[in-house]
Amino acid sequence: MVLLHALGERAASWSGVEPLFASLFRVVGLDLRGHGDSDRPGLYTFELMRDDVIEVLEIMDLREVVLIGHSMGGAVAYLVAQAQPDRIARLVVEDVPPPFPRTRPVPERPEGVLEFDWAVVPAIVGQVNDPTRRWWRLLPEITAPTLLVGGGPTSTIPQELLVEVSGLIPECTLVTMPTGHDVHATRPGEFADVVLGWLDGAGTFPGPGPAGR
C-alpha cells in the first residue's frame, strides 16, 4: 500500500490511519517532491510527481499496489494509475477530482520555517486551475477498481465533480463521509474501515479479510 499526501503536507499526515493498514499491508508513505525529506528541486508539476512515484515503484519493485492519494496526492494517483495499470491493483482517491476550471487563489506564505518548498504552492495551484479539463478524458483508461471518498457538503471540493469522476472510471465506487476535505485525518478509524471493507469486497485479501485481523 502506497500513500500520497496533500499539498503542504508529508507522509506523516497518514499517521492516524497507517497503523490500521499496516496490520494487513506493507505500507509505504512517500514525501512527494518539495515536501518533507524529499528533494526540493524547484520544479513542480503533477506529471513530475507522477514520474517520481513510478520511479519509486520500480526501484522497490512494488507490484499489485493499493495506491491511496489525498487531495494533491489523489491527483497524482490518478496519473500513476493511468500510466501503470499493471502495477496498480486498487486505487483509492480521497476528495479530489482531476484539475478543473476554477480560480483558486495562491495563498500568502506563512511565517517561519516550512516543512515544504513554498515554490510548490503556486506551481500546483496553477495546475489545479487548469481550464482545459485535459486529464478528464483519460479517466476511462484507469483499469484498477477505484474507491472515491468524498468529504460531503462541507468540503472545499464540489461533490458533484466526484459523482462525474465516478461515472468516467470504468469500475468506481463513490462513498461520501461528511467530514470535510481531510477525511482520513478527521475520522481515521472510519476512513480505514471504509477502505479496508471496500478492499475486502473487491477481493484484495487472500484470507478471511479485515474481520479476521
CA distances, 210 to each of 14, 27, 48 (Å): 19, 16, 35
Q: Is the pLDDT of residue 120 over 50?
A: yes
The pLDDT-based confidence of 211 (bands split at 50, 70, 90) is very low
pLDDT of residue 79: 98
Best CATH choice for the domain 2-212 from the list 2.60.40.10, 3.40.109.10, 3.40.50.1820, 3.40.50.720: 3.40.50.1820
Cell (9 digits) for 129: 486551475
Provide the residue type at 11 as one letter.
A
Percent share of the chain, pLDDT over 70: 94
Q: Is the pLDDT of residue 210 over 90?
A: no
- What is the average per-residue pLDDT within 44-64? 97
Domain ranges of the chain: 2-212
The pLDDT-based confidence of 208 (bands split at 50, 70, 90) is very low
Percent share of the chain, pLDDT over 90: 89
Mean pLDDT of the chain: 93
Q: What is the DSSP string of 99-119?
A: --S--PPPPPPPSS--SB-TT
Residue 138 sits at the vertex; the CA angle it makes with 194 and 135, to the nearest 5 degrees, is 90
Q: Taking the model in full, what pTM does it have?
A: 0.93
Contacts 24+ apart (CB under 8 A), 152-158: 152/176, 152/177, 152/178, 152/179, 152/180, 153/178, 154/178, 154/179, 154/180, 155/95, 155/180, 155/181, 156/180, 156/181, 157/95, 157/96, 157/97, 157/181
Chain segment 171-200, per-residue pLDDT in tens:
999 999 999 999 999 999 999 999 999 999
The pLDDT-based confidence of 104 (bands split at 50, 70, 90) is confident
Residue 135 sits at the vertex; the CA angle it makes with 132 and 139, to the nearest 5 degrees, is 140
Residue 24: strand, helix, or coil: coil
